[in-house]
Amino acid sequence: MRFALPRTAQALQALRERIAMVIGLGTLALLCLSWSPIALLLHHALPRRWGQPLGRRVATLTFRFYLGVLRVACGCRFNLDALDELAAQGPAIVVANHPSLLDALLLISRLPNAVCIMKAGLMDNPMFGAGARLAGYIRNDSLLHAILHCRSTLREGAHVIVFPEGTRTTEAPMNRIPVSIGLLAVRAQRPVQTVLLDFSSPYLGKAWPLWRRPELPLHVSARLGRRFAPPHDAQAFTDELQRHFDQALSAPSPSLNSCPKPPPPTSS
């Protein structure tokens, strides 16, 4: 009988985590699939000057609602206040690490006038593509195309979100950054603001299958890193950016360290 309660508690925790996974993934799929046909229609019906702000605003509200669902129904905890400070600043290239599939959602939920540089495959995805095109997000299949659109977007006062690793992190603390990120920053001639995303577990990381249940409670935080002036040497800037991320991500996150941890199950 002494070990029955811990085993029962573990079984209940596993069930809770599976239910949370279904709620989380199901809610995201429902939100995106509901918006996609509307976004597709608006993309063709509205002029760009109306469609893009609408698409970005809907994306922010949708992902903010989604994170609220994860907070209430799944017990996730998000500390994203640093992004509110960034939203109040002028246009900049926002460069973040990419530990999870949730990263873009986190940033967009707090940056209402943000444009992502996205994989071309996601831009063509039936779940995300129509909304991304309406919001004016940028495909990454052509460096020249990305540079030109990035420059025009920044001139219009928006933030441009870039995940320089190109994929989710596989080499801790961060994958190697290609020099193409430096070229983009040099050509855009805007400040580059780094954002450090920290997760309490590698949930939905590269090695975490989509249908593997999360480890709850999940704590996520965003902190602002170094803000770089517009660079002039692509390779030197890329090397400095890499060093900054490697050093900053190797240090423990104060936000995660301050999160209360659940007490261990007791046998009495």
pLDDT in tens, 133-142: 999 999 998 8
Is this prediction's pTM over 0.95?
no
How far is the C-alpha of 114 from the C-alpha of 135, rounded, in Å? 9
Specify the pLDDT at position 251. 82
User: Which residue did the predictor score with more confidence, 99 or 268?
Assistant: 99
CA angle, 27 then 15 then 222, to 5°: 55
- Single-letter amino acid code for the residue at 186: V
- Single-letter amino acid code for the residue at 80: L
pLDDT in tens, 39-56: 999 999 999 999 999 999
Residue 173's CB: how many other CB atoms inside 10 A?
15
Q: Is 99 helix (H, G, I), strand (E, B) or coil?
A: coil
C-alpha dist (Å) from residue 127 to 34, 38, 93, 120, 134: 9, 12, 26, 13, 13
How far is the C-alpha of 66 from the C-alpha of 104, rounded, in Å? 13
Residue 3: pLDDT above 60?
Answer: no
Report percent pLDDT > 70 for the chain: 93
How far is the C-alpha of 45 from the C-alpha of 55, rounded, in Å? 13
